[in-house]
A and B are shown apart, each in its own frame.
Chain A
Amino acid sequence: MLINIDFGTRTPIYEQIVLEVERLVTKEVLKPGEQIPSIRELALTLSVNPNTIKKAYDILEAKNIIVSKSTKGTFITDNIKKAKNDKIDDLIKKINQDLKELESLGLSKEEIFKKLK
């Protein structure tokens, strides 16, 4: 699993890992049931504090995107539908924010939609 961390941004490293795994899962680059690196492996490859990776994995697990099976390792869950739906909700939210900003510039919804391809 290839994750690139941008050490320059203000987005916390754990959040970058969560976002990247979500992205890879929703695009099915990481397939359901696929094994992902252990906390130790990822910490060593990225040269990052293992607590940071653990925090990211805990969040991903709470979101039902990964499961850790105690001795076998950590895997992508079989059901990634929810991850996909969450991603869709996120994007819709973003679009709504942009819509609001366009409306504040004096455009009506119809005008905006007309301009969209």
Chain B
Amino acid sequence: MIEIKSLSKGFDKKKYVLENLNCKIDDAHIYGLVGANGAGKSTLLRLINSIYEADNGEVLIDGEPVYDNVKLKEQMVFVPDDLFFYPSYSLMDMASYYEALYPKFDMNYVINTANKLKLDLNAKIAEFSKGMKRQCALICALATNAKYMFFDETFDGLDPVMRKFFKSLLADSMEKNGTTIIMTSHNLRELEDICDNLGLLYKGNILFESDIDTLKTNMFKVQISLKDDFNKSTFKGLKILSYKKLGSIATIIIEDDQGKSKEYLENLKPIILDFLPLTLEEVFIYQMEALGYEFNEVI
């Protein structure tokens, strides 16, 4: 389990990028991290991987502090947003380098996967395209068989076929090793498909987190019209995130059990009652609104 305890990090004295952040990530789960540019996603991943030292607080994995912990680092692999390869290295060289660092490294995995993807093992990585470089980095990371993997916008440079392929490889790794993964992306749709949990990072803290299925089902938009005049207090039995009434029709965002809400609303004998699903983007907008933030400055 990854535990983050009152973690703070700043790059100049006045302002913290992360401030007093707390979070727990269960084993064998994929945790998706979303947030605006500069929200602190990459900083958080770099802190977890001891690339930065925290100003305050700590990150624990399996109960042990991670900072400069050699034993734990053998269990952790990080694919950053900006990849780095030694200038003259081939994928084979890169794999050998990783093999020296990770005791459970599987060289056959690299060879087999590279062959499947028709990646030349002995060509210079520097001459590869952006997407191919990403593929190399991902293959090496997955071949480490590390228990904890961290991906910073890793899928963003891959084409749809490759995305699907690497999602299957992630699934394989989770089944094989019970891998725990933290990944960031700006593609909410994609995170939604593979993550167990999502956390929204805003101004240095996790504002809101939830498991994906609850996000998908426990928040919805309702259009309703009643025979008699009504206002927001008519629906006080439900947890309402947003309420807008135009003429005789109200649009309400409800965060509650759908079955229960449906029963409640039907008892009001509505003339119109429509349940509309929300996209993940909308879920975040309304959550932010409910917390008093404007959407435009967030995602």
A residues in contact (CB < 8 Å) with B: 7, 9-15, 39-40, 43-45, 47-52, 55
Contacts and interface: CB of A to CB of B under 8 A. Distances in A.
B250 to A, nearest CB: 19
Contacts of A49: 30, 170-171, 174, 194-196
Nearest to A11: B216
Nearest to A38: B175
Contact of B29 (A14, A43, A48, A51): A51
Nearest to B271: A104
B171 A10 contact: no
A48 B171 contact: yes
A9 B276 CA distance: 11
B175 A39 contact: yes
Given A10-B278, A14-B213, A50 B175 contact: yes
B277 A9 contact: yes
Contact of B172 (A7, A15, A44): A44
Interface of B is mostly: helix
Interface of A is mostly: helix
A100 B290 CA distance: 35
Contacts of B277: 9-10
Given A7-B193, A40-B172, A40-B175, A47 B212 contact: no
Nearest to A41: B175
Contact of A12 (B30, B213, B278): B213
B164 interface: yes
